[in-house]
Amino acid sequence: MTNHSYHNLTLCEPATLCLCGDPLDIEDIQSVAYGAKKVSITDSGEVRTRMKLAEDAVSRAVDEGQKIYGITTGFGGMADLPVSSADAGISQQNLLEFLSCSTGKPIPKEHVRATMLLRANMLLRGASGVRMEIVERLVAFLNEDLTPVVGELGSIGASGDLVPLAVIARAITGQAAPCQITTGSDREISRDEALQVAGLKPIELQPKEGLAIVNGTTFSTAIAANNLHSAKNILGISFAAHAMMAKALLAHEDPFASFVHRCKPHRGQIWSAEMMRDLLDVDYTRPSSGNHLQDRYSIRCLPQYMGPIVDGMLRVEETIETEMNSITDNPLIDTGCDRFYQSGNFLGQYIGMAMDDLRKYLGLIAKHLDVQIALLVSPEFNHGLPASLTQQGSSPIDMNLKGLQILGNSIMPMITHLGKPLVDDFPTHAEQYNQNINGLSWGAANLASQSVDLSNRYAAVSLIFAVQAVDLRSSLIEDGNFDGRTVLSSMLEPVYNAVYDAIDRKPGAKAPLISNETSNSLEPLITSLYDSISEQGELISAVSPVVDSFNDLNLV
């Protein structure tokens, strides 16, 4: 997993996202996770009143000696142990202490920031019983760009993300075991230094406050939201690459005709065909460019293959947006009737299964591109393109993209392997058999982050093949012209240009993207394209029409 830079999103003075507990969308999450927006809290009296009502309900329950889980009792499998009123606050500190066992590589900064945002917004709903000061501390850390360092191991998505969320709780409150914080300059400082930067001091936790911060699916959900955002960009790149490859392979346009898909009207299939028509600038009044009768399945069945992936990603998005705007604490407080509900919204099953599915979809996207690349480099199937996409007339020892295909072949199986489900592997004996079913959302979401990173690298590989192929096709149509834009639609030109910009070269030269004359190593180009994709640079802007169209599907 890579801790991506987000300088591309902070060129302008940051705007502000105002939190009031109302639903957020994934774009809201991105704007704060990547530093484009500051955060404020509403001054609405209604919001502050509902929070105070829940806080008062906790105080009354403690004063009256009511038996309520996690407030006047122990935690988990030790919930039958009574906790006195005098110890109710200390018990919250102890909760953070025994959860102080995060380990593994630090997870990316944007995931931690997204988590703090979602948790602040959830607490503002007024069903958790915390002081407004807890929310204000989360927002202060976000606005000062202070990010707790959280290890990638430590949650089974059962009582939510207890161990990782406890790192954030320790950071903002100054309670329990210390932790490290990164600053905006990526310098690590101690928790005490971070509190000073934010103008805060350690506070004593009140009953329910430790539990209210650490209990729930917020962290897994934040990672899932960031993963889906990246996956949509990967989907956009894959369609652009497929369209360029289809042009290079002289693909027939009939498989994308609207009539065909009205006959099998799955939403994702219809959209996939429409997107390919737009990217290819299909005009059915023109004769087909191919002399072959019909294309291999990877082209002819593209809408039928990609359609279920599109439909699946829409379901994943609906799940994530529902979960990230849910209250996943326990117990929940209904201030309307002054009742505490001891329940299980903290189970991460929805996010765990959604991330298992997302990893599978990313694997299928890579597998499809891998097949298309295999057609491109093989004279038996590529309709006149040179073997391994070498430049015509080049040296007989020029093997050109052979190594790149091997690289792609090494990445694709790893992405498909990560597509195997994790959620059905849960341990049944966790925490004294109390957490005897688990969502495993944390593991599933972090594996999806790995899958996203590999998919970004594979997308870079695919784009090199796509641009090289259209450059060569252009030269076959007009001898010596290696400007692939001559065979591309206006919708594909920005993608093509972004690939050339990554190596600081202008298209239209007397050589294709890759030749012995233009490059001795592909590594700088692969790295530049990967950076542009993972840092949401020019390539992501270039495929934004595809991503925007996908986003519009959720409005239908």
pLDDT in tens, 430-466: 777 666 678 899 999 999 999 999 999 999 999 999 9
What pLDDT, on a 0 to 100 scale, did the predictor assign at position 340? 94
Helix, strand, coil percentages (3-state) for the chain, rounded to 5, are: 55, 5, 40
What residue type is 129 in one-letter code?
Answer: G
Read off the tokens for 515. 């030749």
Q: What percent of the chain has pLDDT over 90?
A: 72
pLDDT digits (tens, 9 = 90+) for 124-133: 999 999 999 9
Q: Which of these CATH numbers, 3.40.50.2000, 3.30.300.30, 1.10.275.10, 3.20.20.70, describes 7-215?
A: 1.10.275.10
Residue 79 burial (CB count, 10 A): 14
103-106/151-153 β-pairing: antiparallel
Q: What percent of the chain has pLDDT over 70?
A: 92
What pLDDT, on a 0 to 100 scale, did the predictor assign at position 489? 95
Convert 277-330 into a string of H (helix), E (strand) and C (coil).
HHHHCCCCCCCCCCCCCCCCHHHHCHHHHHHHHHHHHHHHHHHHHHHHCCCCCC
Is 90 exceeded by the pLDDT of residue 60? yes
CA distance 229 to 321: 12
Classified as helix, coil or strand, 53 is helix
What pLDDT, on a 0 to 100 scale, did the predictor assign at position 519? 56
CA distance 501 to 517: 18
What residue type is 303 in one-letter code?
Answer: P
Q: Which of 168-172, 276-280, 296-300, 395-399 has the lowest mean pLDDT?
A: 395-399
Going by C-beta distance under 8 Å and a sequence separation of 6 or more, which residues neighbour residue 209? 92, 129, 130, 131, 134, 173
What pLDDT, on a 0 to 100 scale, did the predictor assign at position 520? 64
CA distance 261 to 276: 12
Residue 527 burial (CB count, 10 A): 13
Is 60 exceeded by the pLDDT of residue 123? yes
Between helix 218-248 and helix 523-534 the angle, nearest 10°, is: 130
Is 90 exceeded by the pLDDT of residue 86? no
Portions of the chain given CATH number 1.10.275.10 = 7-215
What pLDDT, on a 0 to 100 scale, did the predictor assign at position 400? 73
The 8-class DSSP code of residue 108 comes to P
Read off the tokens for 484. 């692939």
Helix ranges (DSSP H) in 419-484: 441-477
Name which of 534, 355, 357 is nearest 448 in CA terms.
355
What pLDDT, on a 0 to 100 scale, did the predictor assign at position 201? 96
Q: Which of 257-266, 276-285, 352-361 has the lowest mean pLDDT?
A: 276-285
pLDDT digits (tens, 9 = 90+) for 309-350: 999 999 999 999 999 999 999 999 999 998 999 988 999 999
Look-up: residue for tokens 């404020």? 40
Name which of 146, 138, 166, 183 is nearest 41 in CA terms.
138
DSSP-assigned beta bridge partners for residue 106: 151
What pLDDT, on a 0 to 100 scale, did the predictor assign at position 6? 37
CA distance 5 to 435: 37
pLDDT digits (tens, 9 = 90+) for 187-204: 999 999 999 999 999 999
Look-up: residue for tokens 């309709």? 383
Q: Is 489 exposed, middle or buried (0-12, 13-18, 19+ CB in 10 A)?
A: middle
Give the residue numbers annotated as catalytic, written as ranges.
69
Please state whether 496 falls in left (phi above 0), alpha (psi between -120 and 50) or beta.
Answer: alpha
Is 50 exceeded by the pLDDT of residue 165? yes
Q: pLDDT class for 78, splitting at 50, 70, 90?
A: confident
pLDDT digits (tens, 9 = 90+) for 361-405: 999 999 999 999 999 998 999 898 998 888 765 555 566 788 899
Going by C-beta distance under 8 Å and a sequence separation of 6 or more, which residues neighbour residue 468? 389, 401, 512, 513, 514
What pLDDT, on a 0 to 100 scale, did the predictor assign at position 24? 97
**What topology does CATH give the domain 228-553?**
Fumarase C; Chain A, domain 2 (1.20.200)
The per-residue pLDDT of the chain, averaged, comes to: 90
Peptide bond before 331: cis, by omega within 30 degrees of 0?
yes
The whole-number average pLDDT for the span 506-520 is 76
First-to-final CA distance of the chain: 34
Q: pLDDT class for 1, splitting at 50, 70, 90?
A: very low
Portions of the chain given CATH number 1.20.200.10 = 228-553
What pLDDT, on a 0 to 100 scale, did the predictor assign at position 3? 40
The whole-number average pLDDT for the span 207-222 is 95
Output 120 or 478, whichever has higher pLDDT: 120
Backbone angles phi, psi at 188, to 5 degrees: -85, 135
DSSP string, 418-442: HTS--GGG--SSBTTTTB-S---HH
Name which of 133, 141, 139, 142 is nearest 206 in CA terms.
133
What pLDDT, on a 0 to 100 scale, did the predictor assign at position 286? 65
Q: Which of 286-290, 409-413, 435-439, 450-454 has the lowest mean pLDDT?
A: 286-290
Specify whether the CB–CB gap between 97 and 176 falls below 8 A.
Answer: yes
